[in-house]
Amino acid sequence: MEEFVDILDVHGNYTGKTCSKAHAHLNGYFHPTAHIWFYTKNGEILIQKRAYNKDTFPGLWDISVAGHISAGESLETGALREIQEEIGLHIHKEELRKIGVFKKEHQFSEKFIDAEFNHIYIAELKVSFESLSRQIEEVEALKLFPIKEFETIINSNDYQEFVPHPKTYYLHVINHLKEAINS
């Protein structure tokens, strides 16, 4: 079934128009996504290895959960849906803490231009790691990773095993995660 997304303008405002995700990528139309980073009070973050069949960055480590917001869907509803689909976890909207929005444009090919507004959330992982169930089509593996080690890798600019998000993106997320872990 084809997924539809809302089209945004260059400032992230909804235009009132929708199209298929494939059409948005073909034409470079901006659309909303949700990035959800889970952390533990033990100073770890949940990361996922992208499935090897993914169109973009197959087999690289990435955000705990990320996905497109469907047309007409609220940001939080889309985030909660993606969490349920990708790692089999049900949480409440109140558990999400929004920490920012990043505008991203990346041209993978003439027929694939990814233009997104990434709405970034953090949430505490309150269940055991073993209780998570990955969506096999999307997620190759899950693991808990020490945030201090993650920060060292990002600061070293040697993070080729991770999706190449801008360093400013990663540092923004790390700062908010550290603040949440230490609160």
- Residue 183 pLDDT: 87
Angle between helices 147-155 and 167-181 (to 10 degrees): 160
pLDDT over 90 at 124, yes or no: yes
Q: Report the domain count for the chain.
A: 1
Which domain range does residue 174 map to?
A: 4-181
pLDDT band at 112 (very low <50, low <70, confident <90, very high): very high
Over residues 7-17, the mean pLDDT reads: 98
pLDDT over 80 at 1, yes or no: no
Q: Are 114 and 105 in contact (CB under 8 A)?
A: yes
Residue that the structure tokens 């929005």 belong to: 101
Residue that the structure tokens 């890798």 belong to: 153
User: Which whole-number Å values give the CA distances from 73 to 4, 8, 80, 164, 165, in the listed order?
Assistant: 10, 14, 11, 28, 25
> Residue 146: which CATH number?
3.90.79.10
Over residues 59-84, the pLDDT tens digits come to: 999 999 999 999 999 999 999 999 99
User: Which whole-number Å values give the CA distances from 42 to 32, 45, 168, in the listed order?
Assistant: 31, 9, 24
Q: Are 37 and 173 in contact (CB under 8 A)?
A: yes
Nearest to 161 by CA among 53, 47, 68: 47
Q: Are 51 and 58 in contact (CB under 8 A)?
A: yes
Task: Tell me 51's DSSP state.
Answer: P
Q: Are 135 and 87 in contact (CB under 8 A)?
A: yes
Overall pTM > 0.85: yes
pLDDT band at 2 (very low <50, low <70, confident <90, very high): confident
Beta bridge partners of 64: none
Which token pair is 1?
A: 């079934």
